[in-house]
Amino acid sequence: MAERKAPVWWGIPKRFSERARERKISWLELFYDLVYAAAISQLTEHLAQHPNMHGLLHMLFLFAFLFWSWLNGSLYHDLHGNSGVRTRLATLWQMMSIAAVAITIPDVFRGHHQGFAVSFSGVQLVITYLWWSTGYYEPAHKVLNKYYVRMSAISLVIIIISAFVPYHIALGLWVLVLLSNFSSGLLSRKTVERETLKRGETFSASDSIIERFGLFTIIVLGEAILGIIHGVSGSDDTPLALWVCFILSILIAFLLWWIYFDMLGQSSAKPGYMNLLYLSTGYLPLLVSFAITGAMLRVMLSDVNAAPHNMARTMFGAAVAVILISTAVLLHIMQQDEAEERAMNKLSWLIFFTSIAVALITVAGNYCSLLLYLVLMVATLVTCVIFGFRVWLGYGLFTED
């Protein structure tokens, strides 16, 4: 079947065979990422106001929707996006839909789900169309994207239905939406690997998509800084102890950035479609944990004299531990030479033991002041950074930019 044409100014999807291993991230992609910052802020705001298990489950649930939509929009742009009007209008529609989702998130927490269902239907519709359009304009690509189209279409129907049923039923349908959306990659595995092998290609995560993950991580990590600022400014007074806790909290955010970007910031993913799926899966707990740390820092700093045994401190420590474990897991998906592999093995163990130390400090922290708890957290993360830096130097992997 012949490929369909379109005016140059409109622009057809970039062919799968023309995808670039390395390319510059466009300004449009950076602009697209910003709308997710607003949506994630709505989630962290609610969690900060309801630092309990119910609030946490709500956040995890809705964060999965945001992550899926960002991931698919980013992957599509990386594989098939161009500078044509069509790509720009599709991105605009996604941004408008996610902005609407951000507006309706508080309603979901109050038991009113219709607005979220309608808004996310817009996201689901445009992503379904985009995956379908790659096969429309390039018929040879239909075999590769068929599961993405089918599962996205099924999810679209379910999310629309959810707008017309009671709240508790809608939540069950949304679980099906997430399962359907996230299953498309796994269902496509054999087909993609078989077809790309026939074409003499290897479908791998590009360096540009790795960079997109890093940029999105920075956006989510920014929630920690916002949480710190809101926590201090929301306190009734600002005693010396609060300012010390403020400094320690900034240090924690910076040290988490240091550990993440030292380990993953300059890496490329191992070749293979499954490694792309592993990468996508591994980033979900990492990103949501960064968001949780921001919400919990806000809660803790808003009342430095709160009783030591509280849910906020427990959730914060657990989130930091998950960040560290996720980083260690993602290390093994990155491509390394022999020296890097030996170093990364040591670093992953270092991070793993640091996560255990964080968990133990959090348990012990239920019996001490917030100031002492944060001091212990900073000391633990600083120790990880120092020993990690020594490993880099020991294997001759540290270079000045």
pLDDT per residue over 159-175, tens digit each? 999 999 999 999 999 99
- The token duo for 119 is 């808004």
Do 190 and 212 fall within a single domain? no
CB 323 within 8 A of CB 256: yes
Do 194 and 212 fall within a single domain? no
Specify the pLDDT at position 308: 66
Do 243 and 147 fall within a single domain? no
pLDDT tens readout for residues 184-200: 989 988 888 888 888 77
CB 98 within 8 A of CB 69: yes
Q: Is residue 113 part of a domain?
A: yes
**Listed residues 175, 198, 221: the one ending a domain:** 198
Specify the pLDDT at position 7: 62
Do 233 and 355 fall within a single domain? yes
Number of structural domains the chain divides into? 2
Do 35 and 83 fall within a single domain? yes
**Listed residues 144, 173, 198: the one ending a domain:** 198
Do 40 and 64 fall within a single domain? yes
CB 328 within 8 A of CB 348: yes
Average pLDDT over residues 242-255: 93
Element (H, E) at 266: none
Average pLDDT over residues 259-285: 84
- Pick from 192, 151, 211: nearest CA to 24: 211
Average pLDDT over residues 308-328: 90
**Listed residues 198, 232, 260: the one ending a domain:** 198
Specify the pLDDT at position 276: 86
Average pLDDT over residues 294-318: 86
Percentage of residues in the chain with pLDDT exceeding 70? 91
Q: Which of 1-15, 145-159, 181-195, 333-347 has the lowest mean pLDDT?
A: 1-15
Specify the pLDDT at position 397: 57
Do 243 and 376 fall within a single domain? yes
- Pick from 316, 330, 296: nearest CA to 358: 316
Specify the pLDDT at position 2: 59
Q: Is residue 349 part of a domain?
A: yes
Specify the pLDDT at position 99: 95
Mean pLDDT, the chain, rounded, equals: 87
Which burial class, exposed, middle or buried, applies to 246 when counting CB atoms under 10 A from its CB (0-12, 13-18, 19+)?
A: buried
Q: Is residue 291 part of a domain?
A: yes
CA angle (93, 94, 95) in 5-degree steps = 90
Do 151 and 217 fall within a single domain? no
pLDDT tens readout for residues 358-370: 999 999 887 888 8
pLDDT tens readout for residues 97-127: 999 999 999 999 998 999 999 999 999 999 9
Q: Is residue 8 part of a domain?
A: no
Q: Is residue 1 part of a domain?
A: no
Q: Which of 38-47, 249-258, 306-315 has the lowest mean pLDDT?
A: 306-315
Average pLDDT over residues 286-298: 94
Do 182 and 260 fall within a single domain? no
Helix (H, G, I), strand (E, B) or coil at 43: helix
- Pick from 139, 28, 135: nearest CA to 84: 28
DSSP-derived secondary structure letter, 269 = B
Give the domain range for residue 347. Answer: 207-394
Q: Is residue 2 part of a domain?
A: no
Specify the pLDDT at position 320: 96
Do 167 and 270 fall within a single domain? no
Is the pLDDT score of 19 beyond 80?
Answer: no
Do 224 and 367 fall within a single domain? yes
Do 260 and 162 fall within a single domain? no
Q: Is residue 7 part of a domain?
A: no
Q: Is residue 390 part of a domain?
A: yes
